[in-house]
Amino acid sequence: MQTYNTPTLLLKLQQQTETLLDKAVREWQMITPAVFKKQPSPNAWSAMQCIGHLNMYGDYYLPAIEQAIMQANKTGNSASAIFTPGWLGNYFTNMMQTSPGKGSKKMKAPKNYTITNEGLSDEVIARFIDQQEKLLVLLDKAANVNLNTIRIPISIAPFIKLKLGDVFMFLIAHNNRHVQQAERAIDAAGNTDRTTNNIRIAV
């Protein structure tokens, strides 16, 4: 099993999260609701559904992580220089991984973690931004605790607990996966110009 230098791993995860946060702030807030809610096909998720799905995971995992870190601080839990993924956590993270040019393996989301296109897209985006900012705070706090010994119940089966480091890696890989899916949905809407750093709404 591959091991990670803990500070290096946390920095990498912070950088990935900052990239997603920057995309949401600089790009998605400039996109019209019609584009953000447009489904590429009848059975494919819109960008709004992709990000809403991530928000639902964030609603579960962020409070759980925060509570676990707070409890660890109270019990004198100290940081470890090395993080070793658990076999199950590593499996879940690898399932979420995507490779440039290769896409990703299709998986069906649990029914209770899917949303419709109803509601306001700007609220979904704002919630995602808030969650990524919270995730950055938690990654910073995680530098002071042991990613190997703290355990977090997983959302789909709370009786299964993963190492905190595995939960961070899975959650951020999951974020990356569905942000890429959201980007494909936006591109399929045909209303964006990707030749510059900013989004231009076609008129």
Q: What is the CATH number of the domain that holds 71?
A: 1.20.120
Residue 104 domain-assigned (yes or no): no
How many domains is the chain built from? 1
Residue 121 domain-assigned (yes or no): yes
Cβ(48)–Cβ(124) below 8 Å: yes
Burial (CB count within 10 angstroms: exposed 0-12, middle 13-18, buried 19+), residue 113: middle
Reading the chain (203 residues) residue by residue, the pLDDT tens digits are: 789 999 999 999 999 999 999 999 999 999 999 999 999 998 899 999 999 999 999 999 999 999 999 999 999 889 999 999 999 999 999 999 876 544 445 555 555 556 778 889 999 999 999 999 999 999 999 999 999 999 999 998 889 999 999 999 999 999 999 999 999 999 998 754 443 334 333 32
- Entry pTM: 0.87
Residue 134 domain-assigned (yes or no): yes
Residue 193 domain-assigned (yes or no): no
Return all residues near 90 (Cβ < 8 A) that are at least 6 apart.
1, 166
Q: State residue 97's pLDDT score.
A: 83
Q: State residue 99's pLDDT score.
A: 60
Q: State residue 76's pLDDT score.
A: 87
At 155 the three-state DSSP class reads: coil
Return all residues near 116 (Cβ < 8 A) that are at least 6 apart.
49
Handedness of CA 121, 122, 123, 129 (dihedral sign): positive
Q: State residue 112's pLDDT score.
A: 55
Q: State residue 100's pLDDT score.
A: 53
Beta-bridge partners for 161: 153
Residue 194 domain-assigned (yes or no): no
Residue 46 domain-assigned (yes or no): yes
DSSP E strands, the chain: 4-5, 82-83, 151-153, 161-163
Question: What CA–CA distance (Å, rounded) separates 145 from 114?
Answer: 33
Tell how strand 4-5 and strand 82-83 pair up: antiparallel
Q: Where are the alpha helices (DSSP H) in 27-120?
A: 33-36, 47-74, 87-96
Domain coverage including residue 63: 4-99+113-188
Residue 106 domain-assigned (yes or no): no
Residue 142 domain-assigned (yes or no): yes
Token pair, residue 153, equals 């119940």
Cβ(145)–Cβ(78) below 8 Å: yes
